[in-house]
Amino acid sequence: MAKPDYKITGERTEMQIFHEDRNLTFLFPAKGPERYVDIQEQITKDRLKAPNFAETVSLVYTAYKNSNEPEFKNVLDILDERSLWAFTGNLYIPKGKGDYQNGVIIQDNPQIKNGKIFMDESELVKKLEANDKSIRFVPFGFKLVEQYVDEFEKNAYVIGLAGEEGAEKLAEIAGKYKARPVVYSFGEVNEKITRASVLGGNYWDGGRLVVDGGYVATTVMTTGMAMFGVSLSADEGSASAPKNKQREVS
Q: Cis peptide before 29, with omega less than 30 degrees from 0?
A: yes
pLDDT in tens, 139-162: 999 999 999 999 999 999 999 999
Torsion 43-197-206-70 (CA) sign: negative
- Residue 221 confidence (pLDDT): 59
For 41-69, write each residue's pLDDT tens digit: 999 999 999 999 999 999 999 999 999 99
Taking residues 74-84, what's their average pLDDT?
A: 93
The answer to whether 6 and 17 are in contact (CB under 8 A) is: yes
Higher pLDDT, 6 or 132: 132
pLDDT of residue 85: 95
How many C-alpha atoms does 239 have within 13 Å on its Cβ side?
Answer: 9
Question: CB neighbours of 244 closer than 8 A, spacing ≥ 6?
Answer: 10, 11, 12, 13
pLDDT at residue 131 greater than cutoff 80: yes
pLDDT, tens digit (0-9, with 9 covering 90-100), for 217-246:
877 654 578 999 999 874 433 333 333 333
**Rounded to two decimals, what is the model's pTM?**
0.89
Per-residue pLDDT at 185 exceeds 50: yes
